[in-house]
Amino acid sequence: MKLTNRLLTLGILVLALGACSSGDISKTETGGVLLSITDFDGLPISISASASGDLAQIESLTVSNVAKDPNGTTSELMNVEIQSYEVTYTRADTGTRVPPKLVNYIFGIAPVNGTFQLDNGPFMRAEQFNTVPILDLKNLGIDSETGSRQVRLTVGLRFFGRTLSGDRVESTTAFFTLEVTP
């Protein structure tokens, strides 16, 4: 009887532990999908601080929702609701001052193994244009920190969303270089 109880208890423990973990926790953290910025069209390489109208946009940008396991089973719960994107700036020249980060709230669906397209998405708004060093170019014609007539920025874009099952997902940051002139 003792041996039967021990075997029964051991069997229950093995089943309970097996049910708790599949061994691959990565699929529960991101819903088994990855977001990737896969295409830019109409990406500006140079803009004018004074002629921009305080808005700079990317003509078209594509975000892909890729299943982590291409041979695995997918479902609509792996579709991603795109919620926002953030734009960050670092200097690609000798200056140190940068515009503030832009966060733009959007909505759309990137189906699993499909894409989401953002048209005319702003990457700079009035807040970025009306902050140094861009403001210096508008008002003075030069960056007062470096004395240069242009500011070179490395612009980073990153998208955020949730799978329909509720898991947070974000893309890696994609970068491009932008020259801003008076």
Q: Per-residue confidence of the chain (182 residues) as pLDDT tens digits? A: 554 445 444 444 444 444 443 343 333 357 899 999 999 999 899 999 998 899 999 999 999 999 999 899 999 999 999 999 999 999 999 999 999 999 999 999 999 999 999 999 999 999 999 999 999 999 999 999 999 999 999 999 999 999 999 999 999 999 999 999 99
* Segment 86-114, tens digit of pLDDT: 999 999 999 999 999 999 999 999 999 99
Q: Is 150 helix (H, G, I), strand (E, B) or coil?
A: coil
The predicted pLDDT at position 24 comes to: 39
63 within a domain of the structure (yes/no): yes
Name the β-bridge partners of 116: 63
Q: Is the dihedral of CA 47, 101, 104, 67 positive or negative?
A: positive
55 within a domain of the structure (yes/no): yes
16 within a domain of the structure (yes/no): no
14 within a domain of the structure (yes/no): no
Q: Provide the token pair at 137.
A: 């170019």
Q: Provide the token pair at 104.
A: 């733009």
78 within a domain of the structure (yes/no): yes
Q: What is the CATH number of the domain that holds 164?
A: 2.60.40
Q: Which of 122, 101, 114, 125 is nearest to 58 (CA)?
A: 122
* Segment 137-147, tens digit of pLDDT: 999 999 999 99
43 within a domain of the structure (yes/no): yes
Average pLDDT for the chain: 88
Domain count, the chain: 1
pTM for the predicted model, two decimal places: 0.81
Give the length of the chain. Answer: 182
| Distance from C-alpha of 157 to C-alpha of 56, rounded to nearest angstrom | 14
Residue 69 belongs to domain spanning: 27-181
42 within a domain of the structure (yes/no): yes
| Distance from C-alpha of 86 to C-alpha of 156, rounded to nearest angstrom | 8
132 within a domain of the structure (yes/no): yes
Strands (E), 92-167: 102-110, 114-124, 151-163
Q: Which of 69, 63, 68, 65 is nearest to 85 (CA)?
A: 63
